Amino acid sequence: MNKTNSYILAFIRHLLSAIANASLYGMDHPQVNRLTSQAFDSLVKTLEERPDFSLVIIENELVIDGRPQDFSLFLDRFVQTLAARGIGHIRLLQGVTRQEVSDFIASISRQGADSAAGIISSRHFQLGQVDLMTTSGDGNGIEDDSAAAGGSPRSGVFVADTPRPKGPVVIPEMPAKEMARLMEIYEAVKSRNKLKITGIFDIVSDFVAAFRQEGQSLLVMAALRDADEYTFTHSTNVCILNIAQAISLGIDGQQLNDIGVAGMLHDIGKLFIPEELITKNTSLSNEEFRLMQSHPYKGARYLLDTPGVPRLAIVNAFEHHMRFNFTGYPKVPSHWRQNLCSQMTTISDIFDALRTKRSYRESLSLTKICDMMTEMIGIELHPSLSRNFLQILSLLKYDLTPPAPTTSSVSP
């Protein structure tokens, strides 16, 4: 990847993250200001040695300077964000100001996904639509309609014909060494030995790297994977689903890894619950359920005493069953504010629990799960985060069937 393209991708990543944060917190939030500045800085570096560049959406793919980009979750999210607002082409010119970038973020973040009202071009940040037209050459001719969006007059943009991948997504298997390493870590904790946090960091880093290369396939793996060791497998699935959510929001670096680690360790407290309770095939008694409800506290307490564990993972272990409206557990004071990572984990946790067969119900289809989760929005689930998660699932565009049966009866 050349330096210019890396600056463009950094601009898109920071821009997408700023839009997501502005939707949650508003434009005045310090995080939004920081991300806006980072997006602007990357944009300025891109335009130092060139007068302009264009981002074009063609059949749900992003084309930068005439080159289709390889699939990545954050680019796909960027494409969906623009397409939902009727934007098919962005042209950025030298002289663009931070205010123009900020205005674009503000207009995108406050608009509903079904409306482009209020989103207009500026002098150096020009927006348009894309119309396909037939040409006599070897490529596909793409025309942008900038004038319709208040930008520059119509001009042709030609993109080389690139074959699109066909056929179903191949679901990769987790490498045997990863499986063995994680099983060893969990068995050590169950035996009251110290958690090997470096091993967890290594596994999560590998997942993040895998997402960079085959994000969609890895997401399918998390949606379909099945194994006998429910707590272990469930934790890896929640980790992957957390990473998917975080990347789609533009989160990167150490914070992304910490969110993955938090997902991997969210149920660590269940290792301190009697195994016969975890695998029980009948309903729990009131006393047994109270004991099961202690696993968030037990997990947070254990992680707090473990050197090197990210604070985010400790908070996440404690909060992941609270629910958006605080009807879950443990109970906390009325002024308590849940961490967004914990609410991402709640979403991943509920999804993975619903798609797994239990002793008291069959596994559920993806459509049914999405319907159920939609009904939970604003009640048990964070509204913006859950809609983002459902959007991620919709991008798979595959008819996912429920996983093979298991005998687990663990409550989410």
Q: Delimit the domains of the chain by residue range.
A: 3-159, 176-394
Percentage of residues in the chain having pLDDT higher than 70: 69
Lowest mean pLDDT segment, chosen from 179-183, 223-227, 381-385: 223-227
Confidence of residue 219 (pLDDT cuts 50, 70, 90): low
Phi, psi of 322 (to 5 degrees): -70, -35
List the one residue out of 282, 373, 381 whose CA is nearest residue 326.
Answer: 381
Confidence of residue 263 (pLDDT cuts 50, 70, 90): very high
Residue 120 carries which side chain, given as an amino acid letter?
I
DSSP state of 294: T
Confidence of residue 176 (pLDDT cuts 50, 70, 90): very low
Q: pLDDT value at position 288?
A: 93
Q: Can you tell me the mean pLDDT for 13-26?
A: 84
Q: pLDDT value at position 188?
A: 63
Phi, psi of 410 (to 5 degrees): -70, 135
342 vs 24, which has greater pLDDT? 342
Confidence of residue 103 (pLDDT cuts 50, 70, 90): very high
Q: How do 155-159 and 140-144 pair as beta strands? A: antiparallel
50 vs 149, which has greater pLDDT? 50
Lowest mean pLDDT segment, chosen from 12-16, 60-64, 217-221, 364-368: 217-221
Q: pLDDT value at position 62?
A: 86
Q: pLDDT value at position 189?
A: 64
Q: pLDDT value at position 201?
A: 79
201 vs 288, which has greater pLDDT? 288
Residue 91 has pLDDT above 80, yes or no: yes
Q: pLDDT value at position 277?
A: 84
130 vs 171, which has greater pLDDT? 130
List the one residue out of 219, 264, 211 whose CA is nearest residue 390.
Answer: 219
This prediction has a pTM of 0.53
Phi, psi of 142 (to 5 degrees): -125, 125
List the one residue out of 380, 391, 334 whose CA is nearest residue 353.
Answer: 380
Residue 22 has pLDDT above 50, yes or no: yes
Residue 361 carries which side chain, given as an amino acid letter?
R
154/331 Cα distance (integer angstroms): 59
* Angle between the N-to-C axes of helices 30-46 and 98-110, in degrees from 0 to 180, rounded to the nearest 10: 130
Confidence of residue 158 (pLDDT cuts 50, 70, 90): very low
- Sign of the C-alpha dihedral computed for residues 336, 341, 347 and 349 taken in this order: negative
For 179-217, b/e burial (b = at least 16 CB within 10 A) is bebbeebbeebeeeeebbbeebbebbebbbebbeebbbb
Decide if 315 contacts 285 (C-beta within 8 A). Answer: no
- On average, the pLDDT of the chain sits at 75
Q: Can you tell me the mean pLDDT for 339-355?
A: 93
324 vs 181, which has greater pLDDT? 324
Lowest mean pLDDT segment, chosen from 44-58, 92-106, 230-244: 230-244
For 286-312, b/e burial (b = at least 16 CB within 10 A) is eebeeebbbbbebbbbbbeebeebbeb
Which range has the top average pLDDT, 20-34, 66-80, 229-243, 334-348? 334-348
Confidence of residue 98 (pLDDT cuts 50, 70, 90): very high
Q: pLDDT value at position 97?
A: 96
Which range has the top average pLDDT, 230-234, 243-247, 324-328? 324-328
Q: Tokens at residue 263, please?
A: 């997902």
Q: Can you tell me the mean pLDDT for 79-103?
A: 91
Class of domain 176-394: mainly alpha
Decide if 53 contacts 65 (C-beta within 8 A). Answer: yes
DSSP state of 358: B
Q: What share of the chain is helix, strand, coil (3-state, %, to 5)?
A: 50, 10, 40
List the one residue out of 337, 330, 298, 331 whose CA is nearest residue 314.
Answer: 298
List the one residue out of 388, 355, 351 whose CA is nearest residue 373.
Answer: 351
Q: Tokens at residue 291, please?
A: 């004991």
